[in-house]
Amino acid sequence: MNTKFIPILDLKAQYATIRDEIHVALEKGVDAQQFILGAEVEALEKLLADYCQCKYAFGVSSGTDALLISLMALGIKPEDEVITTPYSFFASAGSIVRLGATPVFVDIDPASFNIQAELIERAITSRTKAIMPVHLAGQMADMDPILDVAKRYGLNVIDDACQAIGAEYKSKRAGSMGNLGCFSFFPSKNLGGYGDSGLVTTNDADLADRVSLMRNHGQRPKYNNLLVGRNFRMDAIQAAVLRVKFNHLEQWTETRLKHAVIYKELFTRAGISISLDEFGVKSGIVLPIETGFGRHIYHLYLIRTKYRDELKADLNARQIGTEIYYPIPLHLQECFSSMGFKQGDFPQSERAAKESLALPIYPELTEEMQSRVVDEITSFHKSHA
């Protein structure tokens, strides 16, 4: 058995390719002794506003805080409702609850893992104030019908693009289509910092002003507080790291896309790739399905298998890293038990939580490593056929 470990993500391998650039940037930042906001953050904001096709971008303290400050900027308050998906990282719903508002869940499309746009309208009530689609795994949700229903009902849209920087929908970038866009630079993201940080984007001048004000305790000028904000500021050191990494982002994204093509070819050749319609009828795996709306940036490479837990254990024993995103859908989280949700309320999200498994897809992965991943999965599935 090959005992060399293939991790789900290898940040050390990435660091080795940019080590000298990172050290220069960090030294420059420390020499400047400007650690919070400042010139480094402003330079990053300009880069990312252009990249995301937005007029404004604001560096903040995390992806979670990007969601929270966006909701605050829109004036979301207790008793309001925000429509989102139950199949996402906790922050999507957690940020809504933090403001005393209520997350209203809409089930996902089984092909894309994103919110089913056609189900949103029936979830709207007189208390609904916003829709928060999550662009999961690096592929954007079906935005045209989401924006259409939002316009008809006078609702705001927050793009939870924390996993989707550089993803596209009909040539429009993630974070540019809603009233506000939110990004995470958690270290494991396609563009990841060396700690927590995030970004808010918008094309609305009034919202831009509110976000800018709120991220620094609502003060303008210093010590003159116009409203109650919070400390949502980005550290300059994170901005320095992200500026270095940004120069490599497109190359890394293209490499991820090539890896996705290689996986498809290898799995097809192995004969265990099946369609979503065949899933449950016969043994095999469903590969990620691209919706055709635009560029999938493959933050995650999510497969589906009815033997998910057994396969994960088998791959772990064979020194191949995988991860489950996410094992418990949000409506079944213990902290939301008072909302009265039960098993079966959102069946597609519950299925995905039981069946999906993320495989290694990071840029430094080699074709030899991908072949080994596919060989081990093929061996496992043939033994379970």
Residue 353 to residues 304, 310, 327, 331: CA-CA distances in angstroms?
10, 14, 5, 12
**Token couple for 166:** 């550089």
pTM of the predicted model over 0.85: yes
**pLDDT per position as a tens digit, 190-231:** 999 999 999 999 999 999 999 999 999 999 988 988 998 899
**pLDDT per position as a tens digit, 169-180:** 999 999 999 999
CA distance 277 to 377: 21
Residue 234 to residues 15, 30, 38, 212, 345: CA-CA distances in angstroms?
22, 15, 9, 12, 38
Q: Is the dihedral of CA 64, 69, 70, 75 positive or negative?
A: positive
Q: Is the dihedral of CA 209, 52, 71, 223 positive or negative?
A: negative
> Are residues 377 and 315 in contact, defined by beta-carbon separation less than 8 angstroms?
yes
Task: Give the CB-side neighbour count of residue 20, counting CA atoms within 13 A.
Answer: 1
Q: How confident is the model at residue 2 (pLDDT cuts 50, 70, 90)?
A: low
Mean pLDDT over residues 326-335, rounded?
Answer: 96
On the question of pLDDT at 1 being above 60, the answer is no
**pLDDT per position as a tens digit, 280-303:** 767 789 999 999 999 999 999 999
Task: Give the CB-side neighbour count of residue 4, counting CA atoms within 13 A.
Answer: 4
* C-alpha dihedral (384, 332, 108, 324), degrees to nearest 10: -40
DSSP state of 233: B
CA distance 169 to 175: 10
On the question of pLDDT at 252 being above 90, the answer is yes
The CATH number for 11-243, chosen from 3.40.50.720, 3.60.20.10, 3.40.640.10, 3.40.50.620, is 3.40.640.10
On the question of pLDDT at 56 being above 60, the answer is yes
**Token couple for 87:** 């199949």
Mean pLDDT over residues 361-377, rounded?
Answer: 97
* C-alpha dihedral (166, 167, 173, 174), degrees to nearest 10: -100
Residue 133 to residues 12, 147, 167, 227, 229: CA-CA distances in angstroms?
32, 10, 14, 28, 24
On the question of pLDDT at 103 being above 60, the answer is yes
What integer best gives the mean pLDDT of the chain? 95
Task: Give the CB-side neighbour count of residue 139, counting CA atoms within 13 A.
Answer: 22
Beta pairing partners, 225:
219
Fold equal for 11-243 and 249-383: no
On the question of pLDDT at 161 being above 90, the answer is yes
In the chain, domain spans? 11-243, 249-383
**What per-residue confidence (pLDDT) applies to 3?**
63
Q: How confident is the model at residue 34 (pLDDT cuts 50, 70, 90)?
A: confident
DSSP state of 171: T
**pLDDT per position as a tens digit, 118-145:** 999 999 999 999 999 999 999 999 999 9
- With H, G, I as helix, E, B as strand and everything else as coil, classify residue 30: helix
**Nearest Cα residue to 256 out of 161, 352, 365, 353:** 365
Helix axes 63-73, 91-98, angle to 10 degrees: 40
Helices (H), the chain: 11-32, 39-51, 63-73, 91-98, 143-153, 205-214, 236-270, 308-317, 347-355, 367-383
CATH number of 249-383: 3.90.1150.10
Q: How confident is the model at residue 71 (pLDDT cuts 50, 70, 90)?
A: very high
Neighbours of 365 (CB within 10 A): 24
CA distance 59 to 216: 11
**Nearest Cα residue to 360 out of 374, 380, 349, 378:** 374
**For residues 279 and 166, which has the higher predicted lDDT (pLDDT)?**
166
Task: Give the CB-side neighbour count of residue 343, counting CA atoms within 13 A.
Answer: 4
**Nearest Cα residue to 356 out of 322, 321, 318, 320:** 322
**What per-residue confidence (pLDDT) applies to 384?**
78
**Token couple for 266:** 């290898």
